[in-house]
């Protein structure tokens, strides 16, 4: 798992699974602490696969951010990631940015 940052955006690259949850979790919480005045966005455009453990990390981080007065949003989820969110019923616990419809 490669993690890059660009301002309030945290970009994930690779498979987000149980092997990378500690690394991603630490990066998310460090990023939340560093971006006190901005909403944090997790860009998952380059995440092809995700498992339940990783989704739970995102769900808990979303809730913790909200409790701390922050806002955490996930963006650019691919079909496999969205499908897993719905299968695990964690889609309700993770805020996903809605794609803008093109005319």
Phi-psi region of 45 (alpha: psi -120 to 50; beta: other; left: phi over 0): alpha
- Confidence at residue 101, expressed as pLDDT on a 0 to 100 scale: 45
What digits encode the pLDDT tens for the residues 20-69?
Answer: 999 999 999 999 888 777 889 999 999 989 999 999 999 999 999 999 88
- Confidence at residue 86, expressed as pLDDT on a 0 to 100 scale: 93
Whether 45 and 6 have beta carbons less than 8 Å apart is answered as no
pTM (two decimals): 0.88
């Amino acid at each position: 798992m490669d993690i890059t940052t660009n301002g309030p955006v945290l970009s994930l690259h690779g498979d987000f699974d149980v092997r990378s949850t500690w690394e991603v979790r630490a990066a998310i919480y460090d990023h939340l602490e560093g971006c006190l005045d901005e909403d944090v966005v997790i860009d998952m455009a380059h995440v092809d696969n995700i498992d339940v453990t990783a989704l739970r990390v995102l769900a808990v981080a979303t809730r913790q951010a909200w409790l701390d007065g922050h806002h955490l949003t996930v963006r650019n989820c691919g079909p496999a990631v969205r499908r897993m969110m719905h299968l695990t019923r964690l889609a309700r616990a993770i805020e996903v940015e809605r794609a803008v419809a093109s005319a």
